[in-house]
Amino acid sequence: RKEVEQDPGPFNVPEGATVAFNCTYSNSASQSFFWYRQDCRKEPKLLMSVYSSGNEDGRFTAQLNRASQYISLLIRDSKLSDSATYLCVGSEPGGGADGLTFGKGTHLIIQP
Amino acid sequence: GAVVSQHPSRVICKSGTSVKIECRSLDFQATTMFWYRQFPKQSLMLMATSNEGSKATYEQGVEKDKFLINHASLTLSTLTVTSAHPEDSSFYICSASDRRVWNTEAFFGQGTRLTVV
């Protein structure tokens, strides 16, 4: 069974700190990955896509390590508004219903 | 980004009745749709995955006769909670993806908050 594993947390981090969490995947055929952010009582929204070794968008950096089969998400200068659950998703080519595997999310709490 | 519309956003129903939730992809064709349930302060739990025109694949522990999924077109999937009971009260979310497009992500609907009284 293909798995995407995440530490559920919660991660309690002081405002302004840098926080990183990993997502491991079991399917070596996975070629692209996505980080979603889910706020309380809302639907998940796409935060970043990772197709090669990594991606950076402002304070957010995602890195992919294919040898060790994990993706990390780094948040610099964390803000209170970063508090959310972060979902990791792996995608494999070829289409079909099995092409996307979702992690269960990591809960992040930024504290003032 | 692509839009997935989920309806209704909130529904209250009496115990024993059935509720239908719709998930539509508005500007793309969804070959695959995923249905999730999320209880308060818990993570998303995948209930089932469906490919257009095929029967849904249910996760272990999810009753297929209770949670009927129809994915008859590339833009619409429905989840029907049959004979709903208070323990079915939850946040139900769909996501849709065109798996023919290389490296595409899934897009989520806004969710449906179901309360069974």
Q: What does the pLDDT look like over A40-98, one tens digit per residue?
A: 888 999 999 988 888 999 999 999 999 999 999 999 999 999 999 999 998 876 544 45
Exposure string of A22-43, with b = 16+ CB inside 10 Å and e = fewer, is bbbbebeebbbbbbbbbeeeeb
Examine the pLDDT at A30 and tell me if it is beyond 80: no
Q: Could you list the pLDDT tens digit for every one of the 117 residues in chain B?
A: 679 999 999 999 999 999 999 999 999 999 999 999 999 888 888 899 998 888 899 999 999 999 999 998 999 999 999 999 999 999 999 999 988 877 788 899 999 999 999
The pLDDT of residue A96 is 47
**What residue of B is the nearest CA neighbor of A92?**
B103
Q: B-chain residues within 8 Å CB-CB of A106? A: none
B19 touches B81 (CB < 8 A) = yes
Q: B-chain residues within 8 Å CB-CB of A96? A: 32, 51, 99
Q: CA A24: distance to chain centroid? A: 10
Say if the Cβ atoms of A43 and B106 lie within 8 Å.
no
Q: B-chain residues within 8 Å CB-CB of A44? A: 44, 93, 95, 108
Examine the pLDDT at A17 and tell me if it is beyond 80: yes
Residue B30 burial (CB count, 10 A): 29
Amino acid at B98: D
Q: How far apart are CA A108 and CA B17, in angstroms?
A: 38
Residue B103 forms contact with A (CB below 8 Å): yes
Say if the Cβ atoms of A46 and B31 lie within 8 Å.
no
Say if the Cβ atoms of B44 and A32 lie within 8 Å.
no
Query: Residue A100 is nearest to which of B102, B106, B111, comparing CB atoms?
Result: B106
Q: How far apart are CA A102 and CA B97, in angstroms?
A: 13
